[in-house]
Amino acid sequence: MLKMAVSLGLMLLVATQAVAQERPAYIVAEVDVTDQGTYQKYIDGATPIVKKFGGHFVSRGDKIEEFAGTPPHRVAIYEFPSLAQAEAYRDSTDYKTIIPYRDNGSKYRAFIVDGIAGASDAGRAIIGAMGGLR
């Protein structure tokens, strides 16, 4: 009985660590808006869908500084708790219904990037220690 309880405890510990080490995923979108009204419908539709799949926007704007090469006019970065959730968002029926607004209102390129476990939490802790973003 004790051996089974220890085994169960170890399995629970390993499972907890696996969940804690799950890596976030980011969708990075480069956007050149060609029709603001149509693209706004895409933005209005995407926001609740991102939230539905556990995501949130890290950056969403048009203030971009050149680093290496010509930047796009607008960039959006969404963070999801896992690659699976980012893919589920991308593949969802909800998202597919708003794609025509995206495609008819912009030149759009996006990709999913696998994150590093704990990086998001560490970044938030550093920003918090610095007194937040200025």
As for how many domains the chain has, the answer is: 1
Residues 79, 58: contact at Cβ < 8 Å? yes
> How many Å apart are CA 92 and CA 125, to the nearest integer?
32
- The answer as to whether 58 is a domain residue is yes
Residue 82 lies in a domain: yes
Q: How far apart are CA 124 and CA 12, in angstroms?
A: 28
- Tell me, yes or no, whether 18 lies in a domain: no
pLDDT of 113 strictly over 50: yes
pLDDT digits (tens, 9 = 90+) for 27-71: 999 999 999 999 999 999 999 999 999 999 999 887 888 899 988
Domain CATH code at residue 72? 3.30.70.100
What pLDDT does 48 receive?
A: 97
Strands 56-61 and 25-33, by their bridges, are: unpaired
Spatial distance between the Cα atoms of 35 and 46, rounded to a whole number of angstroms = 17
Query: Does a structural domain hold residue 15?
Result: no
DSSP 8-class letter at 33: E
Please report whether residue 86 resides in a domain: yes
Q: Is residue 92 within 8 Å of 49, Cβ to Cβ?
A: yes
